Amino acid sequence: MFAAYVVVTVLTAVANLAAAVADFVRVQWILDNMSRYGIPHSWILPLGVAKAVGALGLLVGFAVPAIGVAAAVGLVGYFVRAVGSVTRARCYADLRYPASFLVLAVAALALRLATL
């Protein structure tokens, strides 16, 4: 069980760090999607920071489990809202992207709790 926790947590952290870097670089397709979803472009930096902090918190969670749990809970909340934003905008074909991040965050949280 611990090996699965490590693999899923590292995968989740790397995916979120990559997404955060894309936000910080202000990749055009992300800005285009934000416009379609009705999200102001001024939010891109705070959203990227949230992903980066969540990812780093998952990694710190290896040493301090409470921080890992808090980071996973934060990422679950973040991606529940992301799925909601995409759904509200009726961009159903795009749901697979935030949903995959949501599944990773839920898995990281469940495995962290199972290994405590």
Every domain of the chain and the residues it spans: 2-114
Q: What is the pLDDT of residues 24-75, one digit of tens each?
A: 999 999 999 999 999 999 999 999 999 999 999 999 999 999 999 999 999 9
Q: What is the pLDDT of residues 70-100, one digit of tens each?
A: 999 999 999 999 999 999 999 999 999 999 9
Determine the Cα–Cα distance for residues 13 and 10; give it in Å rounded to an integer.
5
For residue 91, give the DSSP letter.
Answer: -
Determine the Cα–Cα distance for residues 96 and 51; give it in Å rounded to an integer.
18
Q: Which residues, 6 or more positions from 91, have their beta carbon under 8 angstroms from its beta carbon?
A: 33, 36, 37
pTM over 0.75: yes
